[in-house]
């Protein structure tokens, strides 16, 4: 993203979250070399229940997760949902679940997360057409019903309840018996 900043002269880039000294030093150095240090802002984390209201003023949320393992390839990060719930269009890495989500809900665009030009083009396109990607009305209600913490908590409780019921139905195996006995 920092390498894409020179291609987006009207925009600033802010990160919100844990501050890791080595990472911070690296991106500050890159920003300084590219002449965009004044448009890079490193913001400390906010409390989880404050994230949506804190980020609401952003124009675009960028999720450039690198495809370094299957876990990342299939990821569905909280930041994606928090951004959409905050009314912010998203530019997401070309990873399976994020691509499916953005395509289904038309809440942003997919980018090549390894290419600064692609990142810049995607952000610029979203910025220019921001209103097209803001989820609201019935679509937002549908999203909330499926992905809000309340909906997820209910699903999690159901899973735990099913597991407990199955555990109670399993009869213990006597010493020396096989599971099929």
Alpha-carbon distance of 140 to 106, in angstroms, equals 11
Span 74-129, pLDDT tens digits? 999 999 999 999 999 999 999 999 999 999 999 999 999 999 999 999 999 999 99
Q: Please state, rounded to an integer, the average pLDDT across all residues of the chain.
A: 92
pLDDT in tens, 21-45: 999 999 999 999 999 999 999 999 9
Characterise 78 by phi-psi region: left (phi > 0), alpha (psi -120 to 50), beta (else).
alpha
Scan for tokens 């952003």, then name that residue. Answer: 58
């Amino acid at each position: 993203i920092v390498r894409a900043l020179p291609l987006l002269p009207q925009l600033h880039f802010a990160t919100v979250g844990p501050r890791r000294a080595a990472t911070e030093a690296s991106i500050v150095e890159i920003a300084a070399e590219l002449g965009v240090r004044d448009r890079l802002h490193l913001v400390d984390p906010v409390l989880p229940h404050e994230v949506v209201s804190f980020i609401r003023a952003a124009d675009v949320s960028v999720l450039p997760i690198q495809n370094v393992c299957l876990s990342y390839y299939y990821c569905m990060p909280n930041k994606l949902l928090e951004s959409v719930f905050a009314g912010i269009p998203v530019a997401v890495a070309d990873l399976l679940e994020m691509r499916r989500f953005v395509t289904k809900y038309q809440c942003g665009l997919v980018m090549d997360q390894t290419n600064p030009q692609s990142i810049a083009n995607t952000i610029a396109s979203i910025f220019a057409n921001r209103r097209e990607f803001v989820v609201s009305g019935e679509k937002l209600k549908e999203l909330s019903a499926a992905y809000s913490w309340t909906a997820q908590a209910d699903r999690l409780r159901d899973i735990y309840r099913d597991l407990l019921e199955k555990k109670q139905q399993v009869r213990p195996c006597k010493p020396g018996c096989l599971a099929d006995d």
